[in-house]
Structure 1
Amino acid sequence: MESGISNDDIYEAITDLIFYVDEVTSSASYYSSPGYDLLVSLLLIPDSHIEEAIQLEEAIQIEEAVRVSFHETNNFPLRPASKLMVKSLTRKIYEKVNSTGETTCAICLKEFINGESRVVNLPCGHDFDDECLLTWFKTNHTCPLCCFKLPCEDQN
């Protein structure tokens, strides 16, 4: 009410949103992803505050993208990586040859120790601490940095 939006307009917007969400998430929908959650937000702002609303919405979208990229929210069922695939990944002792590769584990954020740290190289080219990655793949099947997908454990 403070925003000057009428109850009728609010009711219409919410009704339209409900129908849209139902359409997107119904099993008959082309866009359907059974078992997946859908994050929906609705921002009601009067015309006089549109520019501020756009800036606010952009800030909200950026914040959500950051949260998702750092896996602070999980709007999808977690699936562990195939144990056979994890065992077959290339493992090596870290040797700092040049400064273009990773120098820290993106999971635990600890710096790799030259000649001591045991790292795993994923097919996407990213390196991680062996222990961290083993723990990660117990619940995830994607690279923590680029979301490269490894085969999943069978879901029987």
Structure 2
Amino acid sequence: MAPPAWLPPLNSHPHYTLQVEASQTYFSIPRNFQRKPLGNSTVFFIRIQISVDFWKEDFLHRFPGLSLRETLPIKCNPSMDPEILAGSLRIWIQDLVPFSMSNCRGVQSPGGRGLSSDQLFDRISEFLLGLPSAPENAERRILPVLLKIEKSVVVPDEEFGSWVSWYEERKRIDPEFEKEYADAIARPRNEMELLDEATSLMACSSGASSSAVEELESVIHDGDKDVGSEKLSAKSCSICLEEILNGKRVCRLPCLHVYHGDCVVRWLRGSHVCPLCRYPLPTDD
């Protein structure tokens, strides 16, 4: 099933941080693994949590873009074939993580400096290979490990506000949307899907034509007045997030969503789609 067209693009913003943490933890292991004969081998039962969160520039407000949880058991003898552990882990992470693993922090990053992807995988492998020899693991042949990979993306306040307003509007229209969104960001995305996201974002980044902007309706805001199937009942402009007062003049797009005039004109210089519903306006292209 193709992913929804409205998923946030994971790789189209240059300002982000990448944090990686690995720790031994304790969670329920399936009984079929507990009953298998292991010989001299150890099973690293690795639970990976991958997230991408979009943050407003003040770092006080967050919008989720990805939340994956997968589990991988790797069986090996750490003292005899450590390369099996390192190789299996690397392939699995690279297949699952939908963004670059370079310039990451965590996993005992020296001095807080960012690690390359090769350095990162070396650190994770060193951590895992050291677990069987730890005194507390002397009698354990199955070692549960939690690996957290968290990407935090900073987006401009206007763009952040448009995503939040769009999300709240979709929830208002469709009571099932909140669950639908949570399900959509909890599934892996392949390379083609990620490329489609970036292409879709670039397609929206061209501004509306000057004639389309000049033809926008200017209306008096009345929160109690019906217009077709919509109400002009917006309490705030989804671009600047400030209140829209009844009796004040606003700009209305063809999709019937309303904004402060200055705000929507500024928005349409960089994007030709409605911030709330992604309705497209004509461009000069």
Q: TM-score range by the shorter chain?
A: 0.5 to 0.7
**Cα 1:111/1:69, change in 2 over 3 Å:** closer
Quick one: higher RCO (CA 8 Å, sep 6+), 1 or 2? 2
CA–CA distance in structure 2, aligned partners of residues 90 and 120 of structure 1: 6
Q: Normalising to structure 1: TM-score of the pair?
A: 0.56
Q: CA deviation at 1:69?
A: 2.4
CA–CA distance in structure 2, aligned partners of residues 96 and 152 of structure 1: 30
Structure 1 counterpart of 2:242: 110
Moved over 6 A (4+): none
Name the SS of the counterpart of 2:274 in structure 1. coil
CA–CA distance in structure 2, aligned partners of residues 147 and 88 of structure 1: 18
Q: How does 1:128-139 map to 2 (within 5 A)?
A: 128-139=259-270
Structure 2 counterpart of 1:12: 91
* Larger relative strand fraction: 2
Equivalent residue for 1:83, pick from 201, 210, 219 = 210
Name the SS of the counterpart of 1:133 in structure 2. helix
CA–CA distance in structure 2, aligned partners of residues 14 and 114 of structure 1: 53
CA–CA distance in structure 1, aligned partners of residues 246 and 267 of structure 2: 23
Q: CA deviation at 1:105?
A: 1.0
Structure 2 counterpart of 1:69: 163
Counterpart residue type for residue 90 of structure 2: Y
Q: How does 1:121-132 map to 2 (within 5 A)?
A: 121-132=252-263
Structure 2 counterpart of 1:92: 219
Q: CA deviation at 1:109?
A: 1.8
Count residues in correspondence. Answer: 118
**Cα 1:17/1:114, change in 2 over 3 Å:** closer
CA contact (8 A) 2:223 2:234 kept: no
Q: CA deviation at 1:94?
A: 1.7
CA–CA distance in structure 2, aligned partners of residues 17 and 114 of structure 1: 49
Q: Cα deviation per residue 1:86-141 (whole Å; 9 max; x = unaligned)?
A: 111211122333595213211112222222x2211112221111110000001011
Name the SS of the counterpart of 1:69 in structure 2. helix
**Cα 1:14/1:113, change in 2 over 3 Å:** closer
**Cα 1:15/1:121, change in 2 over 3 Å:** closer
Name the SS of the counterpart of 1:119 in structure 2. strand
CA–CA distance in structure 2, aligned partners of residues 16 and 108 of structure 1: 39
Higher mean C-alpha deviation, range 128-137 or range 9-18: 9-18
Q: Would you say 1:40 and 2:99 are equivalent positions? A: yes
- Any gaps of 5 or more consecutive residues in structure 2? 1-21, 25-43, 47-84, 102-123, 125-141, 152-158, 166-196
Counterpart residue type for residue 83 of structure 1: S
CA–CA distance in structure 1, aligned partners of residues 283 and 250 of structure 2: 21
Structure (1 or 2) with the larger CA radius of gyration: 2
Q: What's the % identity of the aligned pairs?
A: 28
- Any gaps of 5 or more consecutive residues in structure 1? 19-38, 61-65
Q: Cα deviation per residue 1:50-80 (whole Å; 9 max; x = unaligned)?
A: xx88xx89x98xxxxx969259xx9533210
Alpha carbon RMSD of aligned pairs, Å? 4.0
